[in-house]
Structure 1
């Protein structure tokens, strides 16, 4: 019966064949259990990654909504003259960086980047406090000039931004 595995004239006892079959079956059972365990581990890892991705997307959406709301508030404040043109334009520019950087390339919104570039050399916070009066006046004159020449453009861009933001709802 097992003669194909044996050399001519050799004989294999039934005990040896039974042992080989049992070892083979045990090996199959072990490998099946091992494969199943690996499958469960991979399935668990995949589920954890999916959950993590879902959390990250939820956080991104929450951040996006927060930035969108902040843009709405700034736009309303700038439109109502509750916020200066320079400060408003710079803050809106920074938020647009997080909201949708592609907006900077649209003609309606380029003014925010322009004002930011024109004023980026002006010291802020502690550096501003440490300036002498003459330097402060010089920078204030520059900011007043920018505000007077670009103020209408900023308000127009802000109105366009409000329209854009109202199109996208939570």
Structure 2
């Protein structure tokens, strides 16, 4: 009986360790030189085998009953979406209006702090913001040095209007649903 090459021990490279060429290659590698002989192995694929036809068991097919699948759909109606969009638009409008008012009051506070003369732009800002700062006038002493005044009532007005805008938007979303 012939020795099966697949059962022989190998050195991990797939070559027969007892073959003279393999031993020569190993010897050359140990000596530091490249081998002159290169061995190639060609493996032929195994012949294809037709698989056995599938066995059909009628008892399994008869027991199988198709059941309807359970589906859950979330439907958002147009009115719900448009109402949420409208609330968001109103919230942005509230924040915009109060943001403009607070910015103008901040400009007023800076102009007063720098001691700007009441001509042109400064008188326009003082005139527009006067009604918004009026409820807070007189709450604090306003320290000043020369024409510069630290208008604490303007700073308080900015804080109060920011809180008021936030409260209005929260109420809008609470009662808007």
TM category (shorter chain) comes to: 0.3 to 0.5
Larger radius of gyration: 2
Higher relative contact order (CA 8 A, sep 6+): 1
TM-score by length of 1: 0.34
